[in-house]
C-alpha cells in the first residue's frame, strides 16, 4: 500500500509491505536503482547507508513498542532525495503513523522550519522515532519501580521472573539501537555532501538524540542490575534463614532420636525401663537434652 503526502515542494511516499507493482511504479517515477528496489520488497537483517546520485538509501531498525506489537524490531527503509522521501515498512509503526498525521494536516510542520529539502523531513521523522523509544524506556522504568515496591513488600521470589522479563526488554532495546551509532556517523558524513554544510547541525542533533536514548537505556540497565542484586540478596537471606532453622531443628531432634533408639533396643538389661514412672523419666531426659541444646544455641547466638 502506498500513501502519498505533499507539503509545499516536498513529497513523502509511505509504503507498507509494498507489492511488486507498487515498487515498480516507484522505480519509474523516481529513477530508483533496481537493486535498491529489490531491497524494498523484503525486510533486511542489517542496517546500512548507500549514497547514489539523486538520493540516499538508509536502513534502520527500531525497537517495537511492547504494549502494541509482538516483534522485537521494526525495519524502516528511507530513500531520501532532494525533494522527496520514501519510507518502506513491513508493519504498523506508531511514531511514523503519528508523524503522518502531523505532516498531513500541516498543523505543526508549518510552525516549524521544515527546510527546503527532504533531509529535514528525515530529521523530524527520526526525532519522532527516538522520542518513541524514550517513551518505551519510560514503560520499562515504570515496571522496575513497581518491581522495587513489590520486592520491599516481601515478594522477592515473585519478582525474579519480572526482573528477568524487564532485563530482556532492555536488552532488546539496546540491541536495536546500538547499530544506529555507526549508521548516523555514515549519514553525517554523506549527507553533508548531499545536502550541503547548512544541514550539518541537524545531523549533529540527530546524533545527540541517539546518545540521549542510548544513555537512558544504559542508566536504566544499571538500575536493573542494582535491583536484581538487591532482590537476589533478599532471596538468599530468606533461604539462609530457612536453612538455619532446618539445621537447628535437625540438631535438636538428633539427641532425642538417639535416646529413643537406645531405650528401644531389644536387650536383656535397659536402665530405668521397667521401673515405676519409667516413661516419664525417659521423657524428662529427652526434654532436658532438648533444653540443653537450645541453651547452647542461645549461648552461641545462633537463635
Q: Find all residues with CB under 8 Å of 243, minimum gap 6, and list them.
A: none
Question: What integer pLDDT is reported at residue 174 of this predicted model?
Answer: 85
Show me where the domains of the chain are located: 2-236, 264-299
**Confidence class for position 108, pLDDT limits 50, 70, 90:** very low
Kindly tell me the burial class for residue 78, based on how many C-beta atoms sit within 10 Å of its own C-beta (0-12, 13-18, 19 or more). Answer: buried
Contact 121, 85 (CB under 8 A): yes
Contact 192, 203 (CB under 8 A): yes
Q: What is the pLDDT of residues 42-98, one digit of tens each?
A: 878 788 888 888 888 888 888 875 545 455 778 888 888 888 888 888 887 777 777
Calculate what percentage of the chain has a pLDDT beyond 90: 0
Q: Whole-angstrom Cα distance, residue 226 to residue 213?
A: 20
- Give the 3-state secondary structure of the chain: CEEEEEECCEEEEEEECCCHHHHHHHHHHHCCCHHHHHHHHCCCCCCEEEECCCEEEEEEEEECCCCCCCCCEEEEEEEEECCEEEEEECCCCHHHHHHHHHHHHCCCCCCCCCCCCHHHHHHHHHHHHHHHHHHHHHHHHHHHHHHHHHHCCCCHHHHHHHHHHHHHHHHHHHHHHCCHHHHHHHHHHHHHHHHCHHHHHHHHHHHHHHHHHHHHHHHHHHHHHHHHHHHHHHHHHHHHHHHHHHHHHHHHHHHHHHHHHHHCCCCCCCCCCCCCCHHHHHHHHHHHHHHHHHHHHHHCCCC
Question: What integer pLDDT is reported at residue 155 of this predicted model?
Answer: 77
Mean model confidence pLDDT for the chain: 78
Question: What integer pLDDT is reported at residue 47 of this predicted model?
Answer: 85
Closest CA to 198 of 118, 122, 115: 115
Q: What is the pLDDT of residues 224-271, one digit of tens each?
A: 888 888 778 777 877 777 787 777 777 777 777 777 777 777 777 777
Question: What integer pLDDT is reported at residue 23 of this predicted model?
Answer: 79
Calculate helix-pair angle for 200-263, 156-177, nearest 10 degrees.
150
Q: What is the pLDDT of residues 140-172, one digit of tens each?
A: 888 888 887 877 777 777 778 888 888 888 888
For 2-236, give the CATH class.
alpha beta
**Confidence class for position 187, pLDDT limits 50, 70, 90:** confident
Question: What integer pLDDT is reported at residue 109 of this predicted model?
Answer: 47
Q: What mean pLDDT comes out for the span 9-38?
A: 81
Question: What integer pLDDT is reported at residue 107 of this predicted model?
Answer: 44
Most confident by average pLDDT, 97-111, 136-150, 273-287: 136-150
How many C-beta atoms surround the C-beta of residue 117 within 10 A?
21
What does the block give as the cell for 5? 503526502
**Confidence class for position 105, pLDDT limits 50, 70, 90:** low
Q: What mean pLDDT comes out for the span 24-44?
A: 80
Rounded to two decimals, the pTM is: 0.71
Q: How many residues does the chain have?
A: 303
Amino acid at each position: 500500500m502506498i500513501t502519498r503526502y505533499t507539503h509545499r515542494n516536498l513529497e513523502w511516499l509511505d509504503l507498507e509491505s509494498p507489492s511488486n507493482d507498487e515498487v515498480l511504479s516507484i522505480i519509474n517515477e523516481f529513477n530508483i536503482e533496481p537493486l535498491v528496489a529489490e531491497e524494498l520488497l523484503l525486510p533486511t537483517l542489517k542496517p546500512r547507508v548507500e549514497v547514489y546520485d539523486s538520493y540516499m538509501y538508509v536502513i534502520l531498525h527500531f525497537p517495537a513498542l511492547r504494549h502494541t506489537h509482538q516483534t522485537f524490531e521494526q525495519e524502516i527503509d528511507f530513500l531520501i532525495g532532494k525533494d522527496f522521501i520514501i519510507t518502506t515498512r513491513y508493519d504498523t509503526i506508531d511514531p511514523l503513523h503519528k508523524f503522518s498525521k502531523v505532516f498531513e494536516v500541516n498543523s505543526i510542520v508549518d510552525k516549524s522550519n521544515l527546510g527546503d529539502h527532504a533531509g529535514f523531513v528525515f530529521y523530524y521523522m527520526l526525532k519522532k522515532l527516538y522520542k518513541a523509544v524514550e517513551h518505551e524506556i519510560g514503560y520499562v522504568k515504570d515496571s522496575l519501580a513497581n518491581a522495587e515496591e513489590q520486592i520491599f513488600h516481601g515478594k522477592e521470589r515473585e519478582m525474579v521472573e519480572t526482573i528477568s522479563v524487564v532485563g530482556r526488554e532492555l536488552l532488546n532495546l539496546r540491541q536495536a539501537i546500538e547499530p544506529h551509532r555507526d549508521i548516523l556517523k555514515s549519514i553525517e558524513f554523506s549527507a553533508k555532501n548531499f545536502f550541503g554544510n547548512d544541514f550539518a547541525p541537524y545531523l549533529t542533533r540527530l546524533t545527540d538524540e541517539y546518545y540521549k536514548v542510548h544513555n537512558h537505556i544504559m542508566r536504566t540497565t544499571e538500575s536493573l542490575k542494582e535491583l536484581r542484586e538487591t532482590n537476589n540478596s533478599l532471596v538468599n537471606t530468606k533461604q539462609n534463614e530457612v536453612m538455619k532453622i532446618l539445621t537447628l531443628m535437625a540438631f535438636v531432634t538428633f539427641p532425642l532420636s538417639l535416646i529413643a533408639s537406645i531405650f528401644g533396643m531389644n536387650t536383656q538389661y535397659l536402665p530405668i525401663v521397667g521401673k515405676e514412672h519409667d516413661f516419664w523419666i525417659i521423657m524428662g531426659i529427652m526434654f532436658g537434652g532438648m533444653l540443653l541444646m537450645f541453651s547452647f544455641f542461645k549461648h552461641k547466638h545462633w537463635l
